[in-house]
Amino acid sequence: MIAKRLQPDNPREWLNRAKSSFVKAQYPAEGVYLEDLCFDAQQAAEKAIKSILIFHQIRFPYIHDLAELIRLVVETGELVPENIYRAASLTRFAVSMRYPGVIEPVTMDEYQEALKIAKDVIVWAEEIIEHGSRKSIV
């Protein structure tokens, strides 16, 4: 458990929430759908990206579209590694996957890929927030 909560405008609090969602995503249990765990992975990536936007004092819309949120990060001049763009693929887990019959069930491979992507996004966000901005050269 996280001992102390920070103010909601603190990027570290958003990063803590991202890590919390990621912890939930990592523990499949009897009776839990992989879709629900992928939703938690998507939420982890989303909150991590939003932590970077808060770090840069950028107001963001409360949306689940990770491609759009990454675009906002790019506009700050922040360096976005190629593997982070893969987070856009997690957007599908934000809404439609939470309801029965909308799309095919998630496979174990898809679930593991969602975890890897979410972890990459969290590590990237943590590096920026803990060690400072990594601005791209334009």
Q: Is residue 3 scored above 90 in pLDDT?
A: no
Q: Is residue 5 scored above 60 in pLDDT?
A: yes
- Model confidence at 92, pLDDT cuts 50, 70, 90, reads very high
- Predicted pLDDT at 133: 77
Domain ranges of the chain: 11-131
Q: How many Cα atoms within 13 Å fall on the side-chain side of residue 94?
A: 19
Q: Is residue 26 scored above 60 in pLDDT?
A: yes
pTM: 0.92
Q: Is residue 1 scored above 80 in pLDDT?
A: no
Per the prediction, the chain carries an average pLDDT of 92
Q: What is the CATH number assigned to the segment(s) 11-131?
A: 1.20.120.330
Q: What is the pLDDT of residues 110-136, one digit of tens each?
A: 999 999 999 999 999 999 999 887 775
- Predicted pLDDT at 108: 96
